[in-house]
């Protein structure tokens, strides 16, 4: 009788252990889904801010979209590295082309991969702009990728942007 009680107790404890393991795995999976959903929502917020900042060409707003150590390959010349250099590049662009206007900017992100506080996204970026009031509009449609970096507050910022 005693032997049967021990076997029942061992089986019960094994069941509790397995059940706990399964529950923790299920909770971890749900937690990962919740984290991914929160990350995607924060990334979408960055996308909306990117469109607004690009259309307004507000230098401070544009600069605020970048992480401290970001790299922008979109300016003419060598890569722009760091938030301070980013602000200077936007100011230089504004000084050189004071009438520059973005008439349309429509990024279409086709894929986002998120891992360990980084996100890689690829897509197409359609834009129409005028270098000055007298110039004809220029339209572009480029393929590109952007590397995003999660900030300590959960927001996302651009870390590397490159277009083709």
**Mind giving me the DSSP string for 56-102?**
HT-HHHHHHTEEEEEEE--SSSSPEESHHHHHHHHHHHHHH-TT-EE
Whole-structure pTM value:
0.78
Mean pLDDT of 11-21: 47
- Least confident stretch, 3-7, 72-76, 92-96: 3-7
Question: Is CATH 3.10.450.50 correct for 38-163?
Answer: yes
Instruction: Read off the pLDDT of residues 106-115 as tens digits, 9 standing for 90 and up.
Output: 999 999 999 9
CB 161 within 8 A of CB 47: no
21 or 110, which is more confident: 110
Question: With pLDDT > 90 as the criterion, what percentage of the chain qualifies?
Answer: 74
Output phi, psi for 97, to 5 deg: -135, 70
SS3 category, 153: coil
SS3 category, 110: strand
For residue 8, pLDDT beyond 60: no
Mean pLDDT of 21-46: 72
Instruction: Read off the pLDDT of residues 43-79 as tens digits, 9 standing for 90 and up.
Output: 999 999 999 999 999 999 999 999 999 999 988 899 9
Q: What is the mean pLDDT of the chain?
A: 86
Q: Tell me the CA distances in angstroms from 2 to 9, 12, 13, 48, 112, one per residue in order.
A: 11, 15, 17, 68, 59
In whole angstroms, give the CA distance from residue 24 to residue 159: 34
Sheet of 138-150, strand order: 80-81, 66-72, 156-163, 138-150, 118-130, 101-115
Parse the chain into domains and list their residue ranges: 38-163
């Amino acid at each position: 009788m005693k032997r049967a009680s021990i076997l029942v107790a061992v089986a019960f404890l094994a069941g509790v252990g397995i059940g706990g393991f399964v529950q923790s795995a299920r909770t971890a999976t749900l937690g990962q889904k919740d984290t991914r959903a929160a990350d995607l929502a924060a990334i979408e917020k960055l996308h909306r801010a990117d469109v607004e900042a690009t259309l307004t060409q507000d230098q401070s707003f544009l600069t605020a979209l970048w992480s401290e150590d970001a790299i922008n390959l979109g300016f003419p010349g060598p890569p722009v590295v760091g938030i301070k250099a980013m602000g200077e590049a936007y100011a230089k662009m504004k000084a050189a082309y004071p009438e520059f206007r973005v008439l349309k900017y429509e990024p279409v992100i086709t894929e986002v991969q998120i891992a360990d506080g980084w996100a890689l996204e690829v897509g197409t970026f359609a834009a129409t702009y005028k270098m000055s009031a007298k110039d004809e509009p220029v339209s572009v449609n480029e393929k590109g990728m952007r590397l995003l970096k999660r900030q300590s507050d959960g927001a996302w910022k651009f870390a590397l942007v490159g277009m083709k």
